[in-house]
Amino acid sequence: MAVTHGTTDPSTKNSTTVNDTGMQLIQQFGKLLTFVVLIGSSMVSASSVSAKQLPIDQEPTTPGTIWNPVSTKKAMTWIINTVIYTNVYNSGKTYAQVRSDSQTDPYSGDTSINQSLSLLCIRKSPELAVDPIPNQTQSAITPGGASKNSWSGGEIFAIPNVLGSSLVSPEVADSKCEQAGQERYHLSGFKMAEFHDGSAPNAGWGFWAQSDDPNLSSPGIRYWVKINDQNANPW
């Protein structure tokens, strides 16, 4: 039988071609699988790092929620003497003494602005410029030289349950007093009471004013009062 050199059995060639193609497919699938695994691992790793490396001043939130940190700021408060003086010689009008006490801190504030207290409002007017109760308003001089408890030349009332942090500026505070004053007394010119609202030279720490607000005779109540030259305000 003659043997022909340099030729290949067709069946053997086809078998080899099929095997080579299968190996190539397996290798390509393996590479694709490795790529998918690497991508998945990278995404998980990135998510973990993102969650762990949240800035220290940023709180995590969920959709629809707002992070509202509680303020540590404090503001100054005053009290009102529980005894309301009535001037029987002046149509029975009543007067109140508003002042600081041992808790009051006019430099850094004494009460958290996260609390709701009464907002003290005052309206000064020409008709109240003359002191109607001079026997009650004799000023006491403090060790620092301030005139305490002089006549203010105004009338006062209080707005109850005012959240300290809502008083974001003196304009906002004055606006609250103005609006409430117009609604209650049909008068304009009310503003948030201030530390120096007495009429004596170098007034401070307390003053007298006319008032017919029954809320001012309630004991144990503290009032938001502003101060123009110190950082003891709610804003």
What's the rounded Cα separation, in Å, for the pair 33 and 36? 5
pLDDT of residue 35: 53
108 with 211, same domain: the answer is yes
pLDDT of residue 85: 80
184 with 219, same domain: the answer is yes
For residue 64, being part of any structural domain is answered with no
32 with 129, same domain: the answer is no
Global pTM? Answer: 0.70
What's the rounded Cα separation, in Å, for the pair 85 and 78? 18
44 with 152, same domain: the answer is no
For residue 3, being part of any structural domain is answered with no
Q: How many CB atoms lie within 10 A of CB 73?
A: 16
pLDDT of residue 225: 99
pLDDT of residue 55: 41
Sign of CA dihedral 96, 83, 206, 90: positive
pLDDT of residue 130: 95
Q: 104 is written with which tokens?
A: 């009051």
pLDDT of residue 20: 57
Question: For the chain, which residues score pLDDT lower than 50?
Answer: 1-18, 36-37, 43-62, 65, 67
Tens of pLDDT along 181-225? Answer: 999 999 999 999 999 999 999 999 999 999 999 888 777 899 999
Q: Looking at residue 216, what DSSP letter applies?
A: G
Tell the residue number behind the tokens 């010689």, with chain if given.
Answer: 89
Q: Looking at residue 70, what DSSP letter applies?
A: P
163 with 209, same domain: the answer is yes
φ, ψ of residue 86 in degrees (nearest 5): -110, 125
